[in-house]
Amino acid sequence: MLAFTDKEICTRAMTTSTTVAENVGRREVSARSVVSIRGVSKSFGATLAVDRVDLDLHSSEVHALVGENGAGKSTLMRVLAGFHSDYSGTIAVDGEQTQILHPRQARALGIALVHQELSLLPEMTVAENILLGREPYGTIPGVISRRAMQERSRALFRELGIQLDAAARVDRLSIAERQLVEIAKGVSANPRVLIFDEPTSSLTYHETRELFRVISGLTAKGTAIVYISHKLDEIFAVAHRVTVLRDGARVASAPVDEWTQARLVNAMVGRDLSALFPRTPSAPGEVRLEVRNLTRRGAFRSVSFHVRAREVVGLYGLIGSGRTSLADALYGMAPADAGEILVDGEPVAVHSAARALAHGIAMAPEDRRARGLVPMLSVKVNMSLSALAALTQAGFIARSRELNAVERLIGRLSVRAASHSQEVTMLSGGNQQKVVLARALMVGPKVLILDEPTRGIDVVAKAEVHAIINDLAQQGLAVLMISSELLEILGMSDRVLVMRDGAIVGEIARAEASEERLVAMAAGVAAAAESRA
């Protein structure tokens, strides 16, 4: 059978070196090639983004496409979905050669892409978004029937087994719910090939599991799935076949059970990646940050914890558990209503980011694009933005001092940019993240808050950011790291705080932390389990 049980998916998702279903072989026999791509290349100017790639997509099969950022995964899939008409090579759909020149044509061939970036209209309802451009008419000709739209959407949700209000406006939804709408939109076209491009980057563990169930339902109906992700554990949980791209070219393709995590990383980066999580805990020092009974109505309540010098404390919780609100309160972006924040034992009032910085609390915020970077400005300007007060004399910026500070951090964090004057959006995601880190570090903070420090960046950059975090902690910084990635939390934290419904529900030491415990605690099933024990 193709459909997994819920429990199966759960365990598959949790174990990273999964022994994948033994029925892979059987599946392949019954599967037929829906799309076969031969020698497809696509270049942007002088840059060859996709280099003579062969790829076969079979019905009822989840084909994972992995590789570093810039490896050409998204570009290849955008070619298939009709977004780049100027490719070379051939694409055959159902054995028939076609030139896919336009997204509409791809849709007509049954190829749909679930977008990486959220592309919904926030002012419209869920149903309106899902059926955008295909609105059903009611009894009066030419007039859209709201009822029909909502009914269709609800039927779709039932089919997919997801909980969404079809009549809700999209801007009222959480990011994760919006991603589900995006997925439903892709599925609603009844595609034969459905491409997921990093679908889980904003989903929590449970939502990811939900998505896997949706995917297994789709494969059961015969849909061919392409699954692009950076998260290796997901690949092993969901994929039947894995193809690795590097520098635009296909380097390997094999059924999932022929892969191990190490081999996959190896193939992606072309060399051994010895330590993705290079945390070497050292004896923690004085308490740097202490939080007592911090409360903000509607976000979190009575939160108390501390972070010592040389310590990396992980903060884990589902989306909506209050993690980011807590970080925002500590950094003054959205001050708390009650409670105390102490830095080095001194109570501090943090009403703005400027105050937080003055007290030695710095933050690298969650969403690089929305809150981290000023897109039109250079690497240098972005890096020094928080530290300008110290680099200014009589209102004028001390340019050489600024440049020194910037160059030092570019070196220390090995930011790969053409120069410090390069526009920051021209950098890769990993290097952009380093710029955000540099901005926080340039003020010389005592406490560093990292909100999702490696979201959406490739494995190599991830390892680099982790090494930086480790170095910073070694040098005496107190680091509070929020992350949705279990492996990152487990790999990097000396202690883990678990948040649920606005409260800290547990603290687990590094030695005792496991994926199961964290997940159970974050979801609220731990209490029951432990009280029984």
Partner 1 sequence: MSSVLPGGTARWHLTVAAALRDYGIYFALALLIAYFSIRIPEFRTAENALLILLQVSVIGVIAIGMTFTIITAGIDLSVGSLLAVAGVMSGVFAQKDPTLLNMLLAFSLPILIGLVGGAINGLVIAWAGVNALIVTLGTLTAYRGFVVWYRVNPIYDLQPYYSVIGQGAIGPMPVPVLILIFLAVVAAIVLNFTRFGRYVYAVGGNREAARAAGINVELVTFAVYVISGFCVGMAALIFTSRLGAAQAISGQGFELQAIAAAVVGGASLFGGRGRISNTIVGALIMGVLFNGFVMLDVPAPIQQMAIGVIIIAAVWLDGILRKRRR
Binding site for partner 1 (CB under 8 A): 43-47, 49-50, 69-75, 116, 248, 331, 333, 352-354, 356-357, 363, 365, 370-377, 381, 385-386, 388-389, 392, 395-397, 399, 428, 439, 443
User: Based on CB atoms, which residue is closest to partner 1, 275 or 389?
Assistant: 389
User: Based on CB atoms, which residue is closest to partner 1, 129 or 386?
Assistant: 386
Residue 21 DSSP SS3? coil
User: What's the closest the beta carbon of residue 422 comes to partner 1, in angstroms?
Assistant: 11
Written as six digits, the tokens of 159 are 């089919």
User: Based on CB atoms, which residue is closest to partner 1, 76 or 518?
Assistant: 76
User: Based on CB atoms, which residue is closest to partner 1, 27 or 439?
Assistant: 439
Residue 60 DSSP SS3? coil
CA distance 330 to 350: 7
Residue 134 vs residues 106, 129, 144, 168: alpha-carbon distances, Å: 16, 10, 10, 19
User: Based on CB atoms, which residue is closest to partner 1, 6 or 123?
Assistant: 123
| Exposed/middle/buried for residue 278 (C-beta within 10 Å: 0-12, 13-18, 19+) | middle
User: Based on CB atoms, which residue is closest to partner 1, 47 or 274?
Assistant: 47
User: Based on CB atoms, which residue is closest to partner 1, 116 or 433?
Assistant: 116
User: What's the closest the beta carbon of residue 201 comes to partner 1, in angstroms?
Assistant: 14
Look at strands 346-348 and 300-308 and give their pairing: unpaired
Beta strands in 297-423 (DSSP E): 300-308, 312-317, 338-343, 346-348, 361-364, 392-393, 396-397
| Exposed/middle/buried for residue 22 (C-beta within 10 Å: 0-12, 13-18, 19+) | exposed
Residue 123 vs residues 1, 180, 367, 510: alpha-carbon distances, Å: 41, 17, 22, 44
Q: In what helix (H) or strand (E) does residue 480 lie, and over which residues does it extend?
A: strand 478-482
Q: Which amino acid is at 422?
A: Q
Written as six digits, the tokens of 436 are 């955000």
CA distance 383 to 405: 9
CA distance 465 to 479: 13
User: Based on CB atoms, which residue is closest to partner 1, 9 or 440?
Assistant: 440
HSE-CB of 510 using CA atoms within 13 angstroms: 12
User: Based on CB atoms, which residue is closest to partner 1, 206 or 371?
Assistant: 371
User: What's the closest the beta carbon of residue 15 comes to partner 1, in angstroms?
Assistant: 31
User: What's the closest the beta carbon of residue 161 comes to partner 1, in angstroms?
Assistant: 31
User: What's the closest the beta carbon of residue 510 comes to partner 1, in angstroms?
Assistant: 30
User: What's the closest the beta carbon of residue 492 comes to partner 1, in angstroms?
Assistant: 23
User: Based on CB atoms, which residue is closest to partner 1, 44 or 137?
Assistant: 44
User: What's the closest the beta carbon of residue 16 comes to partner 1, in angstroms?
Assistant: 27
Written as six digits, the tokens of 508 are 């687990």
User: What's the closest the beta carbon of residue 305 comes to partner 1, in angstroms?
Assistant: 22
Q: Which amino acid is at 59?
A: S
User: Based on CB atoms, which residue is closest to partner 1, 45 or 142?
Assistant: 45
- 508 pairs with which residues across the strands? 496
Closest CA to 175 of 153, 127, 207: 207
User: Based on CB atoms, which residue is closest to partner 1, 155 or 374?
Assistant: 374
CA distance 73 to 84: 13
User: Based on CB atoms, which residue is closest to partner 1, 45 or 411?
Assistant: 45
Contact 247, 71 (CB under 8 A): yes
User: What's the closest the beta carbon of residue 314 comes to partner 1, in angstroms?
Assistant: 22
DSSP string, 141-192: TT-B-HHHHHHHHHHHHHHHT----TTSBGGGS-HHHHHHHHHHHHHHT--S
- Calculate the CA 277 to chain-centre distance: 17
DSSP string, 265-284: HHHHHSS----SS-------
User: What's the closest the beta carbon of residue 71 comes to partner 1, in angstroms?
Assistant: 7
